[in-house]
Structure 1
Amino acid sequence: MSRKPWDLAFTAEPTEVAALRRVMRLHLGIWGLHEIADEAQLCVSELVSNVITHVGPGTPATLAVSMNGVHLRIEVHDPDTRALPTLLDASVDSEGGRGMALVDAVAERWGVELSPDRKVTWCELATGLASPDGHVEGSGVRRAEALLELCTGAKPPRRAGAGRLGRAVAEESVITVITDFLHWLRVHGCDVEDALDRAQTRYDAQLDGLGDGASRSIECLTQEP
């Protein structure tokens, strides 16, 4: 899956926050990163609100999103190099100071980069990806890996960095387990061809569901005010 960097210029106003949150959720749906959408939206809210509060409403800014390895990187650019975000130990009763504390709580890391004419406040979220262009492992993949480990006595190699030989060995183990299950179906009087057809149908439906999720996100974005 290709996850190309994107950016969006905006004016730092409270009314913009909700729209930026929707755009973030839309893109994460397209990228297959639904599971971290809530955390990403929270980071967008806090980074943008930080500009509104400490730089000022009406500030021209940019939201930039990209992949840094297997981490999702979120950046907010603004022109003020003096107002630096600070991580405060805000008390429970405090009305402010929680913004970067929330970012710090959900992000793997965050920081600030300064150049002569702008400031970039960024954070990075763990995605659960095994490789930058891979897919997040769902419950079906985790069950399959647990089953392979149980049947073969060896932990299947991760997709990232496994190498051609490692993937070939893992693929052969998968084929062996599938063959064993087909023998089990035949011995118990089941229709092997019917079982294969049903499995293929279910697999195709689950893949279609991923695409439909992104389509629904696009539809929601275009319909919401």
Structure 2
Amino acid sequence: MQFCRSGLLSQKSLKSIIKTLIEDGTLKYIYEFGRSYIDISYERPILISEHVYIKPENSSFHSHPGQTVIALKKGSSFGGGEHPTTRLCIHLIDVVLHSNRFSKQKDDYRGLDIGTGSGILALVAAKLGVKSITALDNDPCAIYEAKDNVCLNGMSEKIIVENLTVSELSGCYDLVMANLRYPTLIDLREVIDKKLKAESTLILSGLKPDEVQLILHHYKKSRFIAWNKVVENGWCAICLVRD
């Protein structure tokens, strides 16, 4: 209610604006952990990063040239775009794959999405040009929903969804994406290191600001350096590179 306190809007006017935004699908009420709040609605097409839109399965949306649209079925798996960590990861994938440093090589990239959830990160990377992606999860529900979303987006030839651990994979990868919490990212460092090519890119999300330096210190042991960092609502995502 800062606008009301500053005198820019009356409380009545602000409530009317919020009501209109909820009715037209721009905002919605969220109920979780015994509390309710208003947030952006992802039940309509919405721009997540410079080039990437996500939309519900049955929503009609005509994109412009240069835009990528990811359709998602409504499900219970993490990765619908509502959480900042998902949006931050998508933002970095978009930046990485459109930068001069990476854009010329991405057609030959092998990607790995650890903890794929809905499959959204793998889908973004695949639609932005990564040649092939392995998406991992140990939740049967996530496996089912990710496969559904891969099929929905016509990416079955580029994305394989597996119920495997990272250590069970064969071969090495150019791009690894992991939207997980700090302790898991720490535990995965050595096994990720073994699955990355000498010149590789790592996108990590699910971090709080005070955890970033600890992650950087830990991954420095694998010769990674920070290339980019983005922040939203108390969450961080980082892009690390190794030359």
**TM-score normalised according to structure 2 size:** 0.21
Which structure shows the bigger proportion of residues in strand conformation? 2
Structure with the greater relative contact order (CA < 8 A, sep ≥ 6): 1 or 2? 1
**TM-score normalised according to structure 1 size:** 0.22
